[in-house]
Amino acid sequence: SQQGEEDPQALSIQEGENATMNCSYKTSINNLQWYRQNSGRGLVHLILIRSNEREKHSGRLRVTLDTSKKSSSLLITASRAADTASYFCASKGAQKLVFGQGTRLTINP
Amino acid sequence: DVKVTQSSRYLVKRTGEKVFLECVQDMDHENMFWYRQDPGLGLRLIYFSYDVKMKEKGDIPEGYSVSREKKELFSLILESASTNQTSMYLCASSLPSWGTNEKLFFGSGTQLSVL
């Protein structure tokens, strides 16, 4: 069953603004990952945060994890048109990754 | 970089046909996965494999089978295709979960239409 629930389902912002996407999950995890998918293509791994970490950065990406609330957020700073894509969180429990339904992000020039 | 290659980008089949989707990875990964992706449902795991000749059911295995005869090749089989199997199929691979790199590498996907 799907664990991840993402919010919002769709987000449209102006180029240069920051974009924040949220993810909630239901059971204990080992790590949580974020992936990006351009239209009609496969997913690309962006960043992984382990259950004992609270925040992680990679370039313009910032991920936070709150295990007490079973939630994570992905922040993309200074957005660009090329950031237009769908973003998925994936929670890793004992065995497999379980994906959320994704947030569709549109960056308007 | 890891490359995961799916045999077809687009495929159109008739109801009742047997369909083979192939996936090849070139990084000697132990784990391989098949997902299907549908609007509003996200990615759902069909089958996965931790080693050659090993397979495990995912969340939605009904109507599918898999084959892993070689480490690099993981095939998804639709025994008798039905219209409700029209979907985007995504293959992925990864190192063992006990390793330091647990991320999945995905292929570009196969958009299957069953008429």
Mean pLDDT of chain B: 92
Residue A23's pLDDT band (cuts 50, 70, 90): very high
Measured between beta carbons, the chain A residues lying within 8 angstroms of B45 are: 96, 98
What residue of A is the nearest CA neighbor of B98?
Answer: A95
d(Cα A15, Cα A79) in Å, to the nearest integer? Answer: 5
Buried b (16+ CB within 10 A) or exposed e, B52-67: eeebeebeeeeebebb
| pLDDT at A96 (0 to 100) | 75
Tokens of B7: 């045999």
State pLDDT tens for residues B58-102. 999 999 999 999 999 999 999 999 999 999 999 999 987 665 557
SS3 A21: strand
Measured between beta carbons, the chain B residues lying within 8 angstroms of A100 are: 42
- 3-state SS track over B38-66: ECCCEEEEEEEECCCCCCEECCCCCCEEE
What residue of A is the nearest CA neighbor of B5?
Answer: A42
Q: Which of B34, B60, B104, B111 to mutate to test the interface with A (most CBs of A within 10 A)?
A: B104
| pLDDT at B39 (0 to 100) | 87
Tokens of B85: 């199997």
Residues A92, B111: C-beta atoms closer than 8 Å = no
d(Cα B35, Cα A27) in Å, to the nearest integer? Answer: 21
Residues B109, A99: C-beta atoms closer than 8 Å = no
Nearest to A41 among B35, B45, B108 (CB): B108
